[in-house]
Amino acid sequence: MAADRLIIPYGCARWREGWISEGPGGGFRCSVPHVVVDRAAGAPLRLQDGPYAIPQPLRGTPDEELRQIEDDTLARADPWSKPQAAFLRRYFAHVRNRVEAEEETLRARLGRLDSLFDYRAFAFAAPRPLPRAFLRADGDMIRCDCAFWTGTGVVAVEIEGRAAPDPHRRRELSRLEGAGVTAIRCPPGSEIGALGLPPLFERFADGVAIPSGPFKARGIEAYADPQISSSST
């Protein structure tokens, strides 16, 4: 497998060797949900980037589509971990809040296109969370509660409950850090903006000229306000 390609499996309780294997023509096979990022491209993995395991995604407003992504992400989290689910809900609330806080700026950026494009779709430029992701360190696959690819590296969020991480878990986190992963602790109830995440998590719409939707098969309509595009057909 190419060295500039990073495969991040996610949504798994435990790792089993053989889930990733060499495929024909230099490709690979992965039998669990995963994303593939191009290290050399320098682009973050965003909510708009998919793929998602949503059987029949429903077209709607950006809020409605973001809710589908949020539900799919929560479905990949640990069903027994309330802190993990709470973190993900806070994260999606943070994304919505940031877009609303920047409404005037985002509308100004759209300019004449403001009547066609829904500024709320800039939410899909936010980094995509990968719950229960597995990252390679020292030849082993180590679980992290939630991973993000920022374009320059992996951020792994350790979502803490009432008990502090045990010695074994602390060693795992140290190994991830030794492999170049940025590990960030999330104490119970912490707000996203207080975690010390990279600036991308606050300014994810910077440099994005036109918002994109998560369901790519719709082509240009993936960007536009669905009420406007449907009324014109």
Q: What local confidence, expressed as pLDDT, does residue 232 receive? A: 30
Structure confidence at residue 215 (pLDDT): 81
Model confidence at 3, pLDDT cuts 50, 70, 90, reads low
pLDDT at residue number 220: 40
Q: What is the pTM assigned to this prediction?
A: 0.88
Taking 80 as the threshold, does the pLDDT of residue 224 lie above it? no
Query: How many whole angstroms separate alpha carbon 225 and alpha carbon 120?
Result: 9
233 pLDDT band, cuts 50/70/90, is very low
At residue 115 the predicted structure's pLDDT band, cuts being 50, 70 and 90, is: confident
Counting residues of the chain whose pLDDT is more than 90, the rounded percentage is: 63
Statement: residue 1 has pLDDT above 90: no
pLDDT at 49 over 80: yes
So what's the pLDDT on residue 143? 95
Pick 93 or 169 by higher pLDDT: 93
Per-residue pLDDT, 22: 73
Q: Is the pLDDT of residue 222 over 50?
A: no
For residue 145, pLDDT over 90 is answered with yes
Q: Is the pLDDT of residue 216 over 90?
A: no
Reply yes or no on whether the pLDDT at 164 is more than 90: no
- Report which of residues 150 and 224 the model is more confident about: 150
